[in-house]
Every structure is written in C-alpha cells, then in structure tokens.
Amino acid sequence: MSANSGVLRVGFCLLVAAAAGSAQVPEGFEPIFNHQNLAGWHISLTSHHGDTSEWRIREGVLTGTQRPAGNGGILLTDELYGDVEVYLEVNPDFGCDGGLFLRSNAAGQGYQVMLDYLEGGNMGGVYGERLEGVETTWSTDWEKVWKKGEWNVFRVRIEGATPHIQVWLNGTRITDFQDTANHAAGGATQGHLAVQVHGGEQRWKQGGFQRFRNIAVKRLR
C-alpha cells in the first residue's frame, strides 16, 4: 500500500467515524448499519411504495429518495427480529414521508412508526402498513421535542405476541401503543425491520431525502 493510499484510507475512516459519532449508540445495542455499504440490508422488490434503488451512503449517512418521481420503496434488514428495541438517528428533509417498519414481511406489511415529516404529518405515531385491524395512534407531543434541521434520536421498542410499541424521541416518550390482537401479516411474531421512502409524488418533496445515521438494535429476548 502506498503512502497516498494509506492517507486516503485514514481520511475515509475519519469521515465515517465523524458521521457515526455525534450521538453515541447506547450500551447494549448492536449496530446494524456500518456507514460504508448496505451489508445486512436489501431492497424490497414487492413493496406497493415502489422499488427505488436510490439508497446511498453519503459521508457515512444512509440516504433514501424517490427515483423516478413517485417511485419510493423500503430497505429491509436481512435478519428477522421479534421483541426488540431499535435505536435510530434521523434528519429528513421537510416534505418527505418515511417510516420505520417493525415485524414486516418482504412486501412491507408490518407495524410502522411514522416518520412523516411534512405538512399535517406525524413523527412517532403507530400505523398498520397494509395490516387490517390496527388502530392508528398519533403522537401529539413530537413537535415539542423535535429539533428542526438537526439529528433527532428515536428509540422504538416492540414486545409481546400482542404487540406493545413504545416510542421515545430525544429521550421523551411520545407514543405508548398497545394493540388488541396480533395483526401482523400471517400472525407473525417476528419480521424484518425496514426504513421507508413513501411512494407517490403527493407525499414527497422532489429532490428531498430521508437520512439515517446510527441504527442499532437490542434484542429483548
């Protein structure tokens, strides 16, 4: 390895470390995004939101956008998770609708924590993505703790055969959702995690991005 290539490699590592390091992943959590590539993740080719391939790593940050206009999609973990707590840092552009999916199948049917950063949207509420029987729960306090134009930290916990989902935003609990039954697709008690770029031009600012930095999990059992 030449001296120049060594300098470039060190510089790249420092860049990735800077992108990853502003907020510290809590002790006991395992990172599932490596800030370099999409290892451990794959694009859904069957989501009704689309199959955008525009999931990129930019300076250690995972970004997602529509391409072409209206074509969104979801990025799924390769692994399946049941009872789990997810640590996630987000900094979306205003006008972009996204989400964090829990216990999802390959087509994106699952419980969704809304990341709908647009007029009339909701951050941290719970919604049944193509699931029947889930009563949508809206977070009413998210704007009080949301940091505009900055990185925001979500912690999302799902547990139980009848899902109990809690959401914390920047350390404040904003959602406490208890389902009345297991409405996951096929009655699943585990599934993929996924991040979303919403399909359709009405809920996406063209040229806008969803951004995710540190992503980590803690299995609860």
CATH classification of the domain holding 207: 2.60.120.560
- Is residue 65 scored above 80 in pLDDT? yes
End-to-end alpha carbon distance in the chain: 45
Tell me 49's DSSP state.
Answer: T
Which stretch of DSSP H or E encloses residue 142? Answer: helix 142-145
Q: For the chain, what is the domain count?
A: 1
- Cα distance between residue 112 and residue 129, in whole Å: 6
Please give the pLDDT value at position 7.
Answer: 42
103: left (phi over 0), alpha (psi -120 to 50) or beta: left
User: Coil, strand or helix: which one is 59?
Assistant: coil
Q: What is the Cα–Cα distance from 129 to 100, expressed in whole angstroms? A: 10
Cβ count within 10 A of residue 90: 20
| Owning domain of residue 155 | 3-219
Say if residue 55's pLDDT is above 70: yes
Instruction: Check whether 208 has a pLDDT greater than 90.
Output: yes
> pLDDT at residue 12 above 50?
no
